[in-house]
Structure 1
């Protein structure tokens, strides 16, 4: 497992396929909280919401700080947990 202290705020999160997924807001326990800015507007028109990804999906922290996941972007998005 990756050292979660190596994950920096505002780091880009990409899938195993290199596709942008989001930007780190901060690490919250065993999850990465993504910023609202990358979140699409919800169906209810309320705007973006924070999403969380499990730390277990992190494959590596690249030398430039980018967080690369073990899942493709499409698969990772399916695993999003929304903030309440």
Structure 2
């Protein structure tokens, strides 16, 4: 298991394929909360929402970047909403 205490606000989150997934808002327990900035508006026209990723997907931290063990698309498929 990775030490999640090193994950800080505003870090960039990328998939194993190097594709941008989001930006860290903060860590809540075993989930990483992403900012709304990278979230598209919903189909009903409402604004963007926070999404969460399981912190267990973290493969490593490189500088200001959190690299996941899953590809960006797989990570997006695992998004959870509050």
TM class by shorter-chain length? over 0.9
Q: Deviations over 1:26-81 (max 9, x none)?
A: 0001000000011011111111000000011000011x120000000000000000
Aligned equivalent of 2:73: 74
In the aligned structure 2, how far is the partner of 1:79 from the partner of 1:13?
14
In the aligned structure 1, how far is the partner of 2:44 from the partner of 2:28?
26
In the aligned structure 1, how far is the partner of 2:44 from the partner of 2:50?
15
Aligned equivalent of 1:22: 22
TM-score of the superposed pair, with normalisation by structure 2: 0.97
In the aligned structure 2, how far is the partner of 1:37 from the partner of 1:15?
17
Structure 2 unaligned regions, length at least 5: none
